[in-house]
Amino acid sequence: MYTQEHYVLSPDRVLTDEEAKLVWRKPKSHKASEEEERICKEIIRNWNRGEMKIANILLEGDAGSGKTQLAKALSANFRLPYTKVTCFADMDKSDVVGAILPVISSERVAELSQSDQKLLHVLYESDGFQSTTEILQEAFGFSKEQASIQMKQLLNRLAEQHRDNEVVEYRFYPSEIVRAYQHGYLLEIQEPTVIRDAAVLMALNSALELDGSINLPTEVITRHPDFIAVITTNRNYTGTRPLNESLRDRIQHSEKMDLPSREVMVERAIAKIGFEDRKVLNLLADTIILLDKTARVNAIKGVAGMRSFFYWADSVAGGASAKESLYHKVIYKITTDPDEIAILEQALQHQGLDAKLDELDHPETLQGNAKKKDHLKQ
C-alpha cells in the first residue's frame, strides 16, 4: 500500500498560496477506491518515462459513480491544484484558449451603455488570474453559458464601435484550460462530448499532446510537465454523443466507472451520512442496484445512482418510511411514466425486495402476523 505522500509527483515544487488553496483536501468521508489506487500507481510508474508518461486520463461511466471525486482525489494525492472546465454545446475557441479584450479609454467607456460599462469595469478590475467567463459568473451570478454569451456580445459591440484610427491596447484573459496547462494543474474536463464545434475539439486535442503547445494571441505556451487532464463523461447519457475519436485516442489510461459494488456503496453511505445500520443499508443498496439494472434493460432513461442512494438512506435514517421515500428519492427521479414505474415495481416484487422494504417499515405488523399465525396453529 502506498501512503498519500508517496504520490506527490514533484516534491520540490513550491506552490503559491493561491495554488495551494486549489489542492483538494480529502474529507473524512472519502474512501479511496481501487480505481484511485490503480491510476495513482500507473501515473507514478510512468512519470519520468518521457513519451510513455501518463497524463491524460478518461473516467467514463454512470452519473454519480464518483468521477469528479476521483479527479479531486488525484489532486490531493499528487498535490496538484485542481481546476475544472464544464463543457457546453456552444463552446467556442475563446473558451478553450482565452479571450482578448480591448482596453479602451475611460472617455470611450463612458459612451457605452450602462450594462456594458459594468461588464468592462469588473473585467478591467480583475487581476488576470481568472478567465473572463469566470469573472462575469462571479460578479453577476451568470451561468457559464450566460457569461460566455455576454462576453461574445460585448466583444462584438466593442468591435462595431471601434474607430479606424483609434489606437487600442489589448489584454489577454487566459481560459481555465490555459491556466492549468501553463502552470501545471490537474484539470477536470467535464463532458467534452457535448461540444458541437469541430475547431474547439481540435484545439482541445492539441492541448492534450504530451509535448504540445497552445498558440495564444500574445505568446506560445508549452505544456507544464505537471499538467494532468482528467476527462469525465457519462456513458450513453441522452443529449451527449460519444467522445470524439481523436480525443479518445490521446487518452493513456481509462477507467470504466459504474455504480460501485454494494459494499462500496454502503461504506460511502456510512461515511457520508453517519448512519451505520448495515442491514438496512444493504437492503437499500440492493434495491438501487436492481432498479438501475431494470431501468437499463428496459431502456428507461433515468438513473438510480449513488446520489439517490445517499438521499434515500438519509431519509430512512431520519425515520421516514423506506417504501414511501423510495418513490420520492429514487423512483420518481428515474421516471414518472406510469408504465415505466410499473416495470420497476414488478422487478422489486419479483426479487422479494418490495416485501423486505415493507417489513422494514412495519416490523410490528409482521411480528403481529407471525404471532397470529402461531396462535391459530395452537
Q: What does the alpha-carbon distance between residue 239 and residue 250 come to, in Å, rounded to a whole number?
A: 23
Alpha helices in 113-227 (DSSP H): 114-125, 132-140, 144-160, 176-183, 198-207
Helix ranges, the chain (H)? 17-22, 34-46, 67-78, 93-97, 106-111, 114-125, 132-140, 144-160, 176-183, 198-207, 245-249, 262-273, 278-297, 306-317, 322-326, 332-334, 338-350, 353-361, 363-377
CB of 48 to Mg ion, least distance (A): 30
Q: What is the DSSP letter of 70?
A: H
In the region spanning residues 315 to 344, those forming contacts with Mg ion, defined by CB under 5 A, are none
Residue nearer to Mg ion on the CB measure, 69 or 325: 69
Q: How far is the CB of 153 from Mg ion (least distance, A)?
A: 30
User: What is the per-residue DSSP string for 83-127?
Assistant: EEEE--TT--HHHHHEEEEEE--HHHHHHS-HHHHHHHHHHHHS-
Residue 260's binding partner out of Mg ion, ligand ATP, none, with CB under 5 to 8 Å set by partner kind? none
Residue number with CB closer to Mg ion (30 or 67): 67
- Cβ distance to ligand ATP smaller for residue 150 or 308: 308
Which residue lies nearer to ligand ATP by CB, 94 or 233?
233
Closest CB 26 distance from Mg ion, rounded Å: 16
User: Least Å distance between CB 264 and ligand ATP?
Assistant: 8
Q: Toward ligand ATP, which CB reaches closer, 133 or 234?
A: 234
Determine the straight-line distance between the first and last CA of the chain, rounded to whole angstroms. Answer: 60
> Looking at beta carbons only, is 67 or 272 nearer to Mg ion?
67
Cell of 213: 503547445
Considering only 4, 10, 29, 68, the residue that binds Mg ion (CB under 5 A) is: 68
For residue 244, the 8-state DSSP code is: P
Query: Minimal distance in Å, beta carbon 283 to Mg ion?
Result: 27
In angstroms, what is the minimal distance from the CB of 282 to Mg ion?
A: 26
Rule CB under 5 A: say whether 146 interacts with Mg ion: no
Query: Which listed option, ligand ATP, Mg ion, none, makes contact with residue 268 (CB within 5 to 8 Å by class)?
Result: ligand ATP
Q: Which stretch binds Mg ion (CB under 5 A): 64-72, 111-119, 179-187, 293-301?
A: 64-72
Kindly write out the interface string for residues 193-232 of this chain, putting x where it contacts Mg ion by CB under 5 A and - elsewhere.
Answer: ----------------------------------------
Closest CA to 78 of 23, 35, 31: 23
CA-angle at 93, arms to 203 and 142, nearest 5°: 130
Please list the residues that pair with 65 across neighbouring strands.
none
Shortest Å, Cβ 65 to Mg ion: 9
Instruction: Write phi, then psi, for 176 (nearest 5 degrees).
Output: -60, -35
**What is the smallest separation between the CB atom of 25 and ligand ATP, expressed in angstroms?**
13
33 or 126, CB closer to ligand ATP? 33
63 interface partner picked from Mg ion, ligand ATP, none, CB below 5 to 8 A per type: ligand ATP
Report yes or no: 16 and 81 within 8 Å, Cβ to Cβ: no
Helix or strand run (H / E) with residue 53: none
Taking CB atoms, the residue at the shortest distance from ligand ATP is 66
* Residues binding ligand ATP (CB under 6 A): 29-31, 33, 63-69, 232, 234, 268, 271-272, 306-307
Q: Nearer to ligand ATP by C-beta: 269 or 357?
A: 269
Summarize as ranges the residues that interact with Mg ion (CB under 5 A). Answer: 67-68
